[in-house]
Structure 1
Amino acid sequence: MSLGGLGGSGKVATELARELTTAGAKVILLTSPQAQWVSNDELNYIPVSAPKTPTPADSKWIVPLAQEIIQHVETNNIDVLNVHYAVGLVEAALEARQELASRGYSLSVCLTLHGSDVNKYGCDSNYNAQLRDCILACDCVTAVSNSLALQAVRIFSLPWRPIVIHNAIDLEVFHPFRRWIAAPSDTLNLCHVSNFRDVKRPLDAISVLAHVRGAGVPARLIMIGNGPNYIRGREYAEELGVANEVIFLGAVSPTEVVRWLAVTDLQLVTSESESFCLAALEAMACEVPVVGTYCGGLEEIMAILDVDMPAKLLSAPGDTTAMAAKIVQLFNTPSNYQKLRDSLRDKIQLHFSRKAQLQAYCNILMGIIA
């Protein structure tokens, strides 16, 4: 069960459900109506009244959602409910489990923590205690990075560490792709992919572009995604005098993301916090290097390249001048850039394979059922 909006948790849940189904497991995806990542394919998808975006827990939507869960669990003989994202969803899942138990039906709840459920809502005194109780009540808890697992232990004072199962991507979808639109050969193409929430700091990507161009590097920026700062981003590009060099695409499909990555030289991650950073993994699988921030999960991804790579490619959140300087340095040393680009896909395949992710989830779910 997951949120159905543009966020990474829904994307991970949908892709995991699809891969488990392909592997022969009986999987039903419970998520929001008109979910962003669901297409007309082999998925057994059932829309439920879950919100599309992270929404504070409220009985007005949790109680009806719990009743829907009960109905679908009984109808489809569901044994394990893997809840992707904690706030609200896990309350509904646990309420459903309790009522089902009173009827003699055993349902296990496995929670996967994704990010702002820990480092945003968990840091809010209005939600911390409630979330902690829910986490402790689950039959199993996982996190998508070591960084997030350690945050969860610290923020919720957990007596144990969540099991870490890193996110993965489909390397048949995200792969190097031939260039498909004409671009001047001396133009540096930067790209930012996010849901444009404050925590992603999308305006910083535009500031980085302005600094890079100010250093004499001909560059443009592709902004992929939608969200609260979309309109402000357009205004900010005007203010900085780079509106003609910024392309705002809005939300696009994974296939379209790959095609735009094909004309991208560098991916920009400007976030304050990332539990994992799936966008960076997707870019690197397409042989696009990432310049980003010290924001948690991204550091784990970057560390697989080389022990000193984080220092070469990451800066403090908000330090757009430093980010731009690292980009200019890469632009001025093409041999180093090409060496980095050539190493990316093999590293991703080795450390973040779909096979390893699926096996880890299967081991946990089978252990719960047993």
Structure 2
Amino acid sequence: MKILTFSTLFPNAEKPGHGIFVETRLRHLVASGKVESRVVAPVPWFPSTHERFGAWARFARVPRAETRHGLLVEHPRYPVLPKIGMNVAPALLAQAARSTIARIIDEGYDFDLIDAHYFYPDGVAAAMLGRYFNKPVVVTARGSDITLIPRYRLPRMMVRWAANQASALITVCNALRDEVVALGVDPGRVTSLRNGVDLDLFQPAARKDNPAFTLLAVGHLVPVKGQELIIAALPMLPDTRLVLAGDGPDHGKLEALAHTLGVATRVQFLGAVPQSELPRHYAAADALVLASSREGWANVLLESMACGTPVVASRVYGTPEVVAAPEAGVLMSERSARGVAEAVIALRSRYPDRAATRRYAERFSWDDTTAGQIKVFGQALERHAIKGNQTWKAYCGPST
């Protein structure tokens, strides 16, 4: 089976950690030997690579094409328009990618279906491209594309249109599946396939005894991740320190909060950490804390567990499906600083055997997810063929 993977959430040479969960799932799918893929991962257009333009200049430095882990990845440019951009983004994205996809077909890679990730604008654009190239489309919903964006009227209309245009839909947890069905989508076309964890990369390692109970938080320093709640919990956890792996616009605010609360000496900022270095940080910590307000399926939870480190997490969307046993960790009773502190105390009072935490994570290999994808893709091809036959018969009229 030949697929075209389409998403703005895909790593590139400038941002190797961007959308790495999409790349990881695809790598395991291709490794099955049953699927071949080319990738179209558009990036915003920007005219200058000068460093004074910061993050925008990094977009300009992304190569037009690159090979990652044996996958050929194309990066067409699409315009991002301030203020009105949200409503026109799907059309601009589809228009920007159309010539690249046409060239890929002309070069001999006539793919069977479009594998799109993130519903808006990517999934809507993919639905447009599917109609243009007469290809079935499978869209994977991953979190805020379903829990947040459909709150806006026009994006909601477009998400519903794309969901009904697609031959099949995938969600990364059952909670997101319920949200998609609530949009009016036929439940029979929506499959929940949770993410797996790379058990070879994320493994337990030899540990030193920490002088203080060590919490680790992994993720961008942005409001939705809730790192301020973890810092605010530290005054209630006097013998606990916090290590933050990640960078983002909230860095300065979080540092200031740590100083204000008198816990700055117990908070360490690592900055952005490459995925290859994360296992040693997971293994060195006593617990991972994830205080997010929104998560579809948080990969960091399973990564930590695979390294033998239990977790403390907020009860949002797919997280209770990940943290579903005592050896996995503890869910907060409320998403607040006190909720973080109480959950950490509860975890310490019945701290699980780290080997048991690793065994729990081993239940989440990628094998079942890969098999599920192949099945969904096959069903999508069948539905598209049936739809095509019905359209042809309607066009030709009743036989005589």
SS of the counterpart of 1:82?
A: strand
Deviations along 1:114-153, whole A, 9 cap, x unmatched? 0000011012223111111111111110100001111222
Moved more, 24-33 or 189-198: 24-33
Counterpart selection for 1:314 from 332, 340, 360: 332
State the AA in 2 paired with 1:221: L
Residue number in structure 1 paired with 2:10: 4
SS of the counterpart of 1:88?
A: helix
SS of the counterpart of 1:127?
A: helix
Provide the aligned C-alpha RMSD in A. 2.7
Deviations along 1:277-300, whole A, 9 cap, x unmatched? 111111111111111111121101
CA distance in 2, matches of 1:262, 1:115: 27
State the AA in 2 paired with 1:346: R
CA distance in 1, matches of 2:16, 2:318: 15
State the AA in 2 paired with 1:178: A
Matched-pair contact (CA < 8 Å) for 1:17–1:28: no
Residue number in structure 1 paired with 2:377: 365
Residue number in structure 2 paired with 1:262: 283
Change (3 A) 1:210 1:69: farther
State the AA in 1 paired with 2:129: A
Matched-pair contact (CA < 8 Å) for 2:291–2:314: yes
Equivalent residues in 2 for 1:247-258, closer than 5 Å? 247-258=268-279
How far does residue 220 in structure 1 lie from its aligned partner after superposition?
Answer: 1.4
Counterpart selection for 1:71 from 84, 87, 103: 103
User: TM-score by structure 2 length?
Assistant: 0.78
Matched-pair contact (CA < 8 Å) for 1:32–1:51: no
CA distance in 2, matches of 1:50, 1:17: 23
SS of the counterpart of 1:272?
A: coil
Change (3 A) 1:114 1:47: same
Change (3 A) 1:99 1:32: closer
Change (3 A) 1:51 1:176: farther
1:29 aligns with 2:56: no
Identity %: 23
Change (3 A) 1:74 1:138: farther
Deviations along 1:47-82, whole A, 9 cap, x unmatched? 233699xx8352444421233333334432111111
How many aligned positions are there? 344
State the AA in 2 paired with 1:365: F
State the AA in 2 paired with 1:316: E
1:158 aligns with 2:185: yes
CA distance in 1, matches of 2:365, 2:320: 18
Matched-pair contact (CA < 8 Å) for 1:17–1:29: no
How far does residue 46 in structure 1 lie from its aligned partner after superposition?
Answer: 2.3
CA distance in 2, matches of 1:30, 1:364: 21
Change (3 A) 1:220 1:328: same
State the AA in 1 paired with 2:98: A
Residue number in structure 2 paired with 1:346: 359
**Structure of greater Rg:** 2
State the AA in 1 paired with 2:117: H
Change (3 A) 1:43 1:305: farther
Deviations along 1:190-236, whole A, 9 cap, x unmatched? 011122332222211211233212xxxx2211111223323322222
State the AA in 2 paired with 1:275: G
User: TM-score by structure 1 length?
Assistant: 0.84
Matched-pair contact (CA < 8 Å) for 1:220–1:245: yes
Matched-pair contact (CA < 8 Å) for 2:193–2:372: yes
CA distance in 2, matches of 1:267, 1:66: 42
Moved more, 168-177 or 322-331: 322-331
Change (3 A) 1:147 1:41: same
Change (3 A) 1:45 1:242: same
Residue number in structure 2 paired with 1:81: 114
Residue number in structure 1 paired with 2:319: 298
Deviations along 1:143-182, whole A, 9 cap, x unmatched? 000011112222x232326200010011001111223xx6
Equivalent residues in 2 for 1:135-150, closer than 5 Å? 135-150=163-178
For structure 1, which runs of at least 5 residues remain unmatched after alignment? 102-106
CA distance in 1, matches of 2:97, 2:247: 27
Matched-pair contact (CA < 8 Å) for 2:217–2:227: yes
Matched-pair contact (CA < 8 Å) for 1:189–1:265: yes
How far does residue 39 in structure 1 lie from its aligned partner after superposition?
Answer: 7.7
State the AA in 1 paired with 2:104: H
CA distance in 2, matches of 1:201, 1:220: 17
Residue number in structure 1 paired with 2:73: 45
Change (3 A) 1:71 1:91: farther
